[in-house]
Structure 1
Amino acid sequence: MRDGTGTVEPRILVAGIGNIFCQDDGFGPAVAGRLHGRPRHPAVRVVDYGIRGMHLAFDLLDGVDALVLVDALPGAGEPGELTVLQVGPDDIGDAPFDAHAMSPVAVLASLGSLGGQLPPTIVVGCRPLDVGPGIGLTPVVSRAVAGAVAEVEERVGRLVADLPTPHAAGTRPRPEA
């Protein structure tokens, strides 16, 4: 991606995933909302995808250097517990893609068949208490949002530190003598 000066800028995508109409499933959008008001590196883009899986797939096909997914993460553990996972192609498997729903696994699994590839991916997840109908996070998951914001910022900071220095399009950095 080129900025207005012709410089090639690496990109890190932070994707909030979830349905705000299903209580704790809205965890990812809540974290993305908090991140929007905070300063960040220009190579970092924060998007609340909600349940728009097709939009996430298209943005990933456009190319990113790294992906940080933030989502409610069902499974064993206490509600409100944060979990951080590194995800690679072997972790994804196959899942049917539904353009009208949001299954992060299905979106990521579909990238190869759509002509893309899975970027280095980190998932910051929170164990939900209730994903039934309702607007707003339960108190225990709401309290986890601040910790998730800090975790995302820490992980993104590491990713930014590992990015190559942007350089003018068509040029390469000169080796130091």
Structure 2
Amino acid sequence: MPPETSPDTETPSPRILVAGIGNIFLGDDGFGPEVLRHTGSGDLPRGVRAVDYGIRGMHLAYDLLGDWDAMILVDAVPDRGQPGEVRVFEVDPDGPGTSPRLDAHSMDPGAVFASLSALGGRLPRTVVVGCQVARTDDGIGLSAPVAAAVPIAVDRVRSLLTRFGAVAPVGGARSGGTREQGEG
């Protein structure tokens, strides 16, 4: 599929996948899907596809076989600071957890990246917007500090889209971006 172009400039828009992952039935692990719910609530720039993958790791791996310029992965992260702290970091495409192995039952990002490699794909430039969890026990709903971090993460995602060169919708018209709600 060719890159989308902006009608005013005819320059190709980058193809960027914004992927929310996490299990909404495990408390703060539902951070990724919640951020995606808010990220996709407005117009998305051309070439951006925002998807709540929930716990569908193989679906994400197969979607990554497409021609993406970048991916923004939104996820809850353990042991990376105070609960509710949002961190942004880039993934090393050749780092640990990206060696080929097919794992159809895991949503762990490393397993998804390894499955992608086993399928013959290559990870595009990937930046994680992660939030330190407070709890991941059984139950629906985010803890107070993680819920408070959702708008911060949405701002970080939108900032990254701008940094990656995503073209904003022209004149308020609906953009070429898409949003999909997954099963979490």
Question: Offset of 1:38 from its aligned partner?
Answer: 1.6
Q: 1:54 aligns with which of 35, 55, 58?
A: 58
* TM-score, L = length of structure 2: 0.80
Secondary structure of 2:72's match? strand
Question: Offset of 1:45 from its aligned partner?
Answer: 0.6
Question: Offset of 1:113 from its aligned partner?
Answer: 1.9
1:63 corresponding residue in structure 2: 67
Q: Decide whether the 8 Å contact of 2:13 with 2:165 is kept in 1.
A: no
Question: Offset of 1:88 from its aligned partner?
Answer: 1.7
Secondary structure of 2:64's match? helix
Distance 1:42 1:142 in 2: 28
Q: Decide whether the 8 Å contact of 2:14 with 2:166 is kept in 1.
A: no
1:165 corresponding residue in structure 2: none
Larger radius of gyration: 1
Higher alpha-carbon deviation: 83-92 or 148-157: 83-92
More helix per residue: 1 or 2?
1
Distance 1:137 1:91 in 2: 30
Are 1:117 and 2:122 an aligned pair?
yes
Q: Counterpart amino acid of 1:151?
A: R
Question: Offset of 1:91 from its aligned partner?
Answer: 2.7
Q: 1:110-148 deviations in whole A, cap 9, x for unaligned? A: 222211101000000000000010001011100000000
Secondary structure of 1:48's match? strand
Higher alpha-carbon deviation: 21-30 or 61-70: 61-70
Q: Decide whether the 8 Å contact of 1:24 with 1:138 is kept in 2.
A: yes
5 Å-filtered alignment, 1:59-138, equals 59-93=63-97, 94=99, 97-138=102-143
* TM-score, L = length of structure 1: 0.83
Higher alpha-carbon deviation: 141-150 or 35-44: 35-44
Q: Decide whether the 8 Å contact of 1:95 with 1:105 is kept in 2.
A: no
Are 1:31 and 2:35 an aligned pair?
yes
State the aligned residue count.
Answer: 161
Q: Decide whether the 8 Å contact of 1:49 with 1:56 is kept in 2.
A: yes
Secondary structure of 2:118's match? coil
Q: Decide whether the 8 Å contact of 1:14 with 1:46 is kept in 2.
A: yes
Q: Counterpart amino acid of 2:65?
A: L
Identity of aligned residues (%): 53
1:158 corresponding residue in structure 2: 163
Q: 1:32-90 deviations in whole A, cap 9, x for unaligned? A: 00011122212111000000001100100122110000000111410000111111223
Secondary structure of 2:138's match? coil
